[in-house]
Chains A and B, each alone.
Chain A
Amino acid sequence: MLDASSRFPALPATPGVGYKPQHFNDIVENPGTVGWLEIHAENYMGDGGRPLAQLRALAERFPISVHGVGLSIGGETPLDPDHLARLKHLIGWLNPASFSEHLAWSTHESAFLNDLLPLPYTEDTLARVCAHIDQVQEALDRPMLLENPSSYLAFAESTWSEPDFLREVSRRTGCGLLLDVNNVFVSATNLAYDPRSYINDFPLDAVGEIHLGGHDEDEDEHGAPLLIDSHGAPIVDPVWALLDHTLALSGPRPVLIEWDNDVPAWPELESEAARAADALSKVPA
């Protein structure tokens, strides 16, 4: 049993990276500006082996953020009790500095679709999401963070703006928010609104973590730009500028570099983290 609670009670306002097993030795020997690590919960729910051994070793040295991709918080059907139990087990022995999940759904009628699928922002969705978050926070006995999604499309029936919807979820459940600045840029481009206005409207006091990542560029059948959240490329300059805009309003926050596909060698990932450290260093505490 590992008790990291006294060592790392919270994520520091420094850069972190999404942990990839191929970087284990580099991270231990040369973390550079990286002060914490994020793991995907579902990759550490096996019975044993190297993934859990590496996680135990890393948790001795770094604050860990557990980021779930499989709870289906926005699902129309009840949360999967088996999955919630697995999550409770992981959070229980690891005692991470943070746990976060997504404003999205992924499981329906016993199929897990392995993607973060979109929700209409209605009263029904709000009630369901809040009930599920209450259930998770009660099971885990800790507050969680909820992340804003990348949007490719909108629902005619939505009656809430996304920042207002997330503010209300946070107000009703007491959960914190994870602000993915790349997702804001992707969604704003795709749905033709101003990303800075979104950030200005966002309840930044509730933000416990910021995400940054790369995206791909395409266009839709009308010739309009269609950005796709790929986590497989360097972060583009307009997203770095949006981070500066965000940090100037929010103050320093833990900033994560997410790079999940076509993962680069450690020096390239670490240089993205160093750029985030620069951005953080310009912000008055």
Chain B
Amino acid sequence: MSRQSAFRAAILDAERPAPPDLQDGLGRSATKRFNVYRNNVAVSLTEALEASFPATARLLGDENFRSVAGRFLRSSPPESPLMMHYGAGFPDFLASLDALAAKGYLADVAHLEQALRAAYHAADHAPIAPDALAHIAPEDLPETRFGFAPAVCLLGSEWPLLSIYRLALDPKAPKPRAETQSVLVARTGYDPLPHLLPPGGLTFATALMAGQTLGDAAETAAEASPDFDLSTCLACLLSAEAITAILP
């Protein structure tokens, strides 16, 4: 095993002894000195996860979060030096843990936070004007297609996802009600924001992002949800700066 292979293995597994031939300045053992590196790696990666998944961390509590993060970082150390991407697999890791099965919403909250972080670093966008649709002839509207900002992400959930997320970060936020919530993540200027999608909004926006025309997407959404309202859903997408282009 090469020196760096041995170092890497011992850093990620506290059960292993420190690599051989390490010493202090006087030729004595250096176990605690090696542990500085072990600790730096574990603490810095745990802090990186906590910074990216603050609501998930609050919902788990400090001790549980550090324990879960420790298991994650040992099984999935970063594959790139870009810490802005580290933890992209964390939501699915949470979903895979039997011990967290009773908190089914946790992975959904983590997916939401992952989408917000991705939106923060996404390519810049120029949203269409709020009244841009008014300039389209009514007979052309059903055939219209849209382009979406790179920051946009849609999340469906069987939980009151956005309410749980907001309460985790702000104890004064309204208590979640027993309902399902779908969320649109987009960026207003440089600020990534989550928006509650109106009824049918998830189906509608998913269809539009897949390239369906406005008419087809509205029909699909109306079939899926009796409470779907086209103008409410369009207003949500426009005010969130989700739409960047009207395609011919």
- Interface, chain A (partner B; CB < 8 A): 42-43, 45-51, 53, 69-72, 75-77, 80, 82-83, 86, 105-115, 117-118, 120, 152-157, 190-193, 220-222, 224, 226, 228
Contact = CB atoms under 8 A, between A and B. Distances in A.
B235 interface: no
B37 A156 contact: no
29 contacts: A43-B84, A47-B123, A48-B122, A49-B121, A49-B190, A50-B120, A72-B81, A76-B2, A77-B4, A80-B81, A83-B80, A83-B81, A108-B4, A112-B78, A112-B79, A113-B77, A114-B40, A114-B44, A115-B40, A115-B41, A152-B33, A152-B37, A154-B22, A156-B23, A191-B25, A192-B26, A220-B30, A221-B32, A226-B36
A152 B187 CA distance: 44
B30 A157 contact: no
Given A47-B150, A76-B4, A153-B34, 6 more contacts: A42-B84, A46-B122, A50-B191, A112-B81, A113-B11, A224-B26
B148 to A, nearest CB: 15
B80 A153 contact: no
Contacts of B95: none
Contacts, number: 146
Interface string B100-120: 000000000000000000011
B4 A105 contact: yes
A49 B122 contact: yes
Nearest to B40: A115
B36 A152 contact: yes
Most B CB atoms within 10 A — which of A45, A153, A224, A228? Answer: A153
B7 interface: yes
A47 B190 CA distance: 12
A153 B33 CA distance: 6
B3 A106 contact: no
B28 interface: yes
A107 B41 CA distance: 12
Contacts of B122: 46-49
A22 to B, nearest CB: 13
Contacts of B131: none
B8 interface: yes
The 7 closest A-B pairs by CB, nearest first: A70-B81, A46-B121, A191-B25, A192-B25, A50-B190, A111-B77, A47-B123
Given A48-B123, A49-B187, A53-B190, A111 B24 contact: no
A193 B11 CA distance: 27
B32 A220 contact: yes
Contacts of B40: 114-115
B41 to A, nearest CB: 5
Contacts of A46: 82, 84, 120-122
Contacts of B8: 108-109, 111, 113
A20 to B, nearest CB: 13
Contacts of A53: 124, 190
A23 B200 CA distance: 42
Nearest to B191: A50
B92 to A, nearest CB: 19
A224 B24 CA distance: 9
Contacts of B123: 47-48
A76 B3 contact: yes
Contact of B33 (A114, A192, A220): A220
A86 B82 CA distance: 10
A109 B83 CA distance: 17
A47 to B, nearest CB: 4
Contact of A191 (B24, B29, B120, B121): B24
A220 B24 contact: yes
Contacts of A106: 81
Given A112-B78, A226-B32, A153 B24 contact: yes
B81 A228 contact: no
B48 interface: yes
Contacts of A113: 8, 11-12, 41, 77-78
B21 interface: yes
B149 to A, nearest CB: 10
Contacts of B11: 113, 117
Contacts of A156: 21-23, 27
Contacts of A82: 80
Most B CB atoms within 10 A — which of A53, A106, A117? Answer: A117
